[in-house]
Amino acid sequence: MKLKSIKFPLLLIIFTISLDFLIGLFAHELYFSKSSKKTNPLIYSFTSSNDDIVIFGSSRAKHHYNAKLMQDTIGLDTYNFGSGGQNIYFHNLLLKSILQRSTPKIAILELMSIDFEVTPSEWNKEKLDILLPLSTQNKLIDEELSKIDDFHDLKTKSKIYPFNSKFYSSIQNNYFTSIDHFNGFVPINGNSWRGDLNRIDSTFENIKFDEKKIEEIYDFLELCIKNNIDTYIFISPTYKKYLNKSEYHKILRKIQKKYKIKVVNFLNHPEFIEDSKYFKDPLHLNEQGANIFTEMVIDTLNKESELLKRIN
């Protein structure tokens, strides 16, 4: 009677733990396979990157800075760590992770309003959950995720949980994707979009600043200075002209003054402004625009960087 009573729950527990272990193991192997490491820039970024010039930012960094072109022109290993939808929390964690392995010579941080302002909670630190698979290998990420989620340690007792919803992309990275990036830079083609352009302008009105995010930017810059990294903040071009009276510029000026860091603002650059042939959409340059912009970045670095002047 007693054995019969516990047979079902016991079997349920044994089967669940066994299947979780086996499929979790399979998911781990699939995610960290050799070909996946090549096609998934996230794995390279957090586990083995070792570059001289590093570029941080969201999708605007990912699609705007041709790292291969910079590497070929400047002659230093360059990698674009831009990651779609990510913000300063991600960049800061990535920088800390890179510093555990090596110290870059030059760092570029691409910023835009979303890096300063109050956004829905799922756009803040919660965005770091894309790093869940890497938390199984990187203690720094594991600790950071524990701060966001009180139950992180308990949840990751499951071997599958860190790879939740990653099966399709892992299979794709292993079997169906060729390398589509150039040192992390992902060019985008086309120059047509269908959306409300006026909506973009309004994103810069009535900004509510997020003090935590601004603190995080300060942390990032202080870490760069502490490690003698030649650091630049870039704001790449947008299609529409943004409001210049924005408080956002005041903060940038404050940063420039406080950390003596060069802030290079291409936001309303005449070459790009309202010239749709350079843009895939109002916030993202296409490949043609990205290459022209990258040339400008290289020029700026050559003019401003004492390090490059010494090398050259």
Residues that bind another protein (CB under 8 A): 4-5, 7-9, 11-12, 15-16, 19-20, 23, 27, 122, 126, 129, 151, 154-155, 158, 160-161, 163-165, 167-169, 194-195
Cβ-based nearer residue to another protein, 21 or 244? 21
* Burial of 244 from C-beta contacts in 10 A (0-12 / 13-18 / 19+): exposed
Cβ within 8 Å of residue 46, ≥6 positions away: 94, 97, 131, 134, 138, 141
Report in angstroms how near the CB of residue 235 gets to another protein at its nearest: 28
Cβ-based nearer residue to another protein, 20 or 201? 20
Report in angstroms how near the CB of residue 145 gets to another protein at its nearest: 13
Report in angstroms how near the CB of residue 37 gets to another protein at its nearest: 20
Report in angstroms how near the CB of residue 287 gets to another protein at its nearest: 23
What the block records as the tokens of 48 is 């083995």
Find out whether 184 and 110 touch, Cβ atoms under 8 Å.
no
Strand stretches in 143-278, DSSP E? 230-235, 262-265
Cβ-based nearer residue to another protein, 150 or 306? 150
Element (H, E) at 83: none
Cβ-based nearer residue to another protein, 49 or 170? 170
Find out whether 185 and 290 touch, Cβ atoms under 8 Å.
yes
Cβ-based nearer residue to another protein, 12 or 311? 12
Report in angstroms how near the CB of residue 136 gets to another protein at its nearest: 14
Find out whether 78 and 26 touch, Cβ atoms under 8 Å.
no
Distance CA 59, CA 238 (A): 13
Cβ-based nearer residue to another protein, 104 or 133? 133
CA torsion 57-60-63-65 (nearest 10°) is: -60
Distance CA 62, CA 110 (A): 10
The DSSP code for 66 is: -
Distance CA 66, CA 60 (A): 12
Cβ-based nearer residue to another protein, 5 or 312? 5
Report in angstroms how near the CB of residue 174 gets to another protein at its nearest: 14
Report in angstroms how near the CB of residue 210 gets to another protein at its nearest: 20
Find out whether 101 and 52 touch, Cβ atoms under 8 Å.
no
Closest CA to 223 of 310, 98, 43: 98
Cβ-based nearer residue to another protein, 169 or 276? 169
Report in angstroms how near the CB of residue 175 gets to another protein at its nearest: 14
